[in-house]
Amino acid sequence: MVHPQALLDELGRAPEDPAFEHGSRVTSRRELRELIGRFTAGLRAAGLGPGDGVGIATAVTPEGFAAIIAAQVLGCRVVGVRPGLPVPQLRHVVSDVGALVVDVASETPELLGTVAGVPILRVGPELLAGHEEPVPQGRPDDIATVVYTSGSTGVPKGVAYSYRALTEGRVWRAPVPGSAHERLGAGFGRFLLFGTLTSAVMLEQLGVCLLAGGTAVVPAELPDFPWVLPRLRITAALMTVPRLHQVLDVLRSEDVDLSGLRTLVVAGSPVPPHKLAEAVELIGPAMHHAYGQTETGMLTICGAGEGHGSVGKACDTVEIAVRDAAGVPLPAGAEGEVWVRTPSALAGYWRDEATTAQVLRDGWVRTQDVGWLDDAGYLHLSGRARDVVIVNAVIHYTGPIERAIAAHPDVDQAYVVAVPDELTGEAAHAFVVPVPGREPNLDAVRKAVAAELGEAAVPARFSFVGAVPIAPSGKPDKAALRASIVD
C-alpha cells in the first residue's frame, strides 16, 4: 500500500459522514473521495504522472485538498504555492513545476506572470469533467511533496518528502490502537482548519483529523480567537505561540466558554513554563504543547500538567537522542544538539545536496535545536543552535535569556536578537512586551537574568513593544524586530 491509499480507505469507511464543513456547505467523505477521482482524471488528461511537478495554489477548500491528494494519487511531486509570496521567492518555488492548479481566489497577476509558459489548470467544470477511481501510483522513493520554508533567512528551502515517508509515517495512516496518535485524534471531532494548505503542520493536523473520522471546519472569515472556538463548536485547533498570547490576553478579562474544546495544540516555538501554566489554568485540560519541524513533522507532544516544563515525550515512531558536537550520544541530563529519527522525516532539501548532507546523518535528522532528555524521557529545549548571540567570542543562546526575562511578573513576552556591536562583536537586544497596565523595572529584569545565567548573558539593550511582528510562518518575526532597531 502506498500513500494516499489509507486516506482513501478511511473516506470510504463512513461515506456519509462529513469531511469538510464551510458555513452551510458540508462535503461528505463520499463527495470528497469523488472530488479526488475527478481531479485525478483531470490531471491525468493534462499529461501528468509519476515524478511530474504540480504546483497547487488554492484557498483552504475541499477542492484544494482534493487537488493535492489527486496529484499524489498519480505519483506527482506536489509543490504548495503559499499566498502572498514575494515575486523572487515565488519564482524560486514554481521554477520546475510542469503545471499549476489554481482557483479563482488564488489567481493573481503576479502568480500568472511568474509561471508564464506553464500550463494553468483552473479549478472548475473543465478540469473536473471526468472521473476515475483513484488508484495510487506513487513510487516509494519518488518525492511526494516539497514544502518550502518561510524564507526568512533568504531563499526558501524546499523540504522534500518521499512517498515512503508519507506511507510509513504516523499521520497518513490509520492510528495504531492504544497509541498516543489515536488518543490525540480522539479529540479531533471538529478540527478548525484555516490559514493555508501549504502549511506542513496544518496539513499534518488535517491528516490526524480525517484519519480519526473527524470533520475539518473552515471558518467563513479569518478566525477571531478565541470566540471562533465555541461559535463553530470546535473540539480541536492548532495555533502558534503568538496567537496563544492573544488568546490569553482575552481570557484574562473575558469569559469565553471553551468547555467543548478537547485538544488545543500550540506549536512553532517553545512556550515559557509560566505561560504554559497560565494557559493550562485558563484553557484547561485541552491545552497541549507540541514540538516539531517542517523537516520532521510533530516530534513530541505534552498534555496539560505534564512534563515539568518540557515539550513532552517522543511521538509514536519517533526516536530522540541528544548528542555532542562530534555526534556522540549524551546521557540523560546532559545538554547537546537534538537528533531525531522518524520514518516521516524529509528525504532531503530539494536540489540542495550540501544542506541535505549537513542535516541528514545515517538516517537521523540534526534539528539544530539544543536541549536535554530527563530520566523519564521528556525533552527539554534550551534554544536553537543557530539562534545565538556571540558576545566577546562567547556563545549565548537566546532561548534561555528570553525565558529568564519572561519569568519576571511584569513581562508578558520577551524576544532576544543579536545586533552588531563595535566593542563586543555582537550584543543582545531584548524586545519586551509588558503585561498590560504594568511597567517592568529593567534593573530587576537585568538582575534576574544575571542570577539565572550570569552577567555576560544580560542584554545590552532593551526595547518595550506593544506587540511582536509575526512572520508568514506564524512565528515571531525576529528579522523584523532586528530591522526595527534604529542606531
Cα–Cα dist 291/370, whole Å: 13
Domains and CATH numbers, the chain: 5-168 (3.40.50.12780), 181-384 (3.40.50.12780), 388-483 (3.30.300.30)
Distance of CA 177 to the CA centre of its chain: 25
CA angle 185, 289, 192 (to 5 degrees): 50
Cα–Cα dist 126/69, whole Å: 19
Cα–Cα dist 119/175, whole Å: 38
pLDDT tens across the length of the chain (487 residues): 999 999 999 999 999 999 999 999 999 999 999 999 999 999 999 999 999 999 999 999 999 999 999 999 999 999 999 988 878 888 889 988 999 999 999 999 989 888 888 999 999 999 999 999 999 999 999 999 999 976 544 567 899 999 999 999 989 999 989 888 899 999 999 999 999 999 999 999 999 999 999 999 999 999 999 999 999 999 999 998 878 988 999 999 999 999 999 999 998 777 878 888 899 999 999 999 999 998 999 999 988 878 778 999 999 899 999 999 999 999 999 999 999 999 999 999 999 999 999 999 999 999 998 999 999 999 998 877 678 887 876 778 888 899 999 999 999 999 999 888 877 778 899 999 999 999 999 999 999 998 888 888 899 999 999 999 988 777 888 889 999 986 5
Cα–Cα dist 161/150, whole Å: 17
Q: Where are the alpha helices (DSSP H) in 214-272?
A: 228-231, 241-251
Burial class (CB in 10 A: 0-12, 13-18, 19+), 246: middle
Within 10 angstroms of residue 377's Cβ, the number of other Cβ atoms is 14
Tens digit of each residue's pLDDT (9 = 90 or more) over 203-227: 999 999 999 999 999 999 999 999 9
CA 96 to each of CA 74, 158, 172: distance values in angstroms, whole numbers, following the listed order: 18, 12, 26
Which pTM was predicted? 0.86
> How many residues make up the chain in this entry?
487
Q: Supply the pLDDT for residue 152.
A: 45
Listing DSSP states for 12-24 in one string gives: HHSTTSEEEEETT
Task: From 53, 96, 79, select the one nearest 146 (Cα to Cα).
Answer: 79
